[in-house]
Amino acid sequence: MDSFPGPALALVERLRAAAAADPARAIALQGAPGANSHRAAQEYAPDALPLPCFSFEDAIDAVKQERAGRAIIPIENSQNGRVADIHFLLPESGLSIVGEYFMPIRHALMGMGAGPFRAAYSHPQALGQSRFFLRERGIVPLAFSDTAAAAAHVAELGDPALAAIAPELAAELYGLTVAEHGVEDAHDNMTRFVVLAREPLRPADLAGQATVTTFVFEVKNIPAALYKAMGGFATNGVNMTKLESYQQGASFSATMFYADIIGAPGDPAVDRALEELAFHSKHVRMLGTYRQGRPRG
């Protein structure tokens, strides 16, 4: 699927050609060159070949189809919550989480000149992270597929009243002028990315390292099932750092849960907690065990 603006297409094709020549080194990402995912890929794996994809699904498919060895996907932001719906994308993909990366997010307002600007294009996450900045200046937020593609779109339109909110790299790539730096509302703005691959890491190979294990589960439809399922983590001293619920299907009768815990299968305490979870659940699906990108707690 190709829906990138014209100014981005030449860069996209160049990066895709390099990735196609060495797919094992390729790391798929959602967004045009210059997007935050592009920067995250370069920082997480400097020797990898970035493979721009239009959507999160396209990035996952690139790994499934062996056009890339890995994908890097943003899943949550400290200021604006969930990014990619990894709950729906990952369990059915057959891929595993093999790493995580935390990246500070800095946004810039850019356009054909220094403004004033009537409207600003960007990804909904970036618009949400800059909503007070935009409101104070009377700039209308306009949603676009990703931050860097928004910058390319503004360059393509050539209207000096239109701006984009994107990383500063996008201004360099698409010939725009940065009107203001650091337009995010919170300067501790942080996004967590996960790295996906076809094969999971073996927990035994991570022995002695600080690890995270991610899984999804559905509890039995009986009173206090979630309470009982969670009890094993408390009694075994296993720290659960994330628990989110989401609906499976349209019946609203089956609630799924997405969880992160500190530790790995093979640790007796983790094994006991997961065994108790399985007893109170209809099913549990492991999504991966991987090194912590930053300490919890």
Task: Round to whole Å and give the CA distance between 134 and 130.
Answer: 6
Active site residue 213: no
| Distance from chain centroid for Cα 28 | 12
Nearest to 134 by CA among 149, 117, 155, 156: 117
Catalytic residue among 54, 117, 144, 193: 193
Catalytic residue among 147, 191, 211, 213: 191
DSSP 29-71: EESSTTSHHHHHHHHH-TTSEEEEESSHHHHHHHHHTTS-SEE
E strand or H helix that includes residue 228: helix 225-235
Q: In what order do the strands lie in the sheet with 108-111?
A: 140-143, 119-122, 162-166, 108-111, 177-181
Nearest to 109 by CA among 157, 191, 172, 167: 167
Task: Round to whole Å and give the CA distance between 142 and 251.
Answer: 33
Task: Round to whole Å and give the CA distance between 153 and 122.
Answer: 10
- Residues designated catalytic: 191, 193
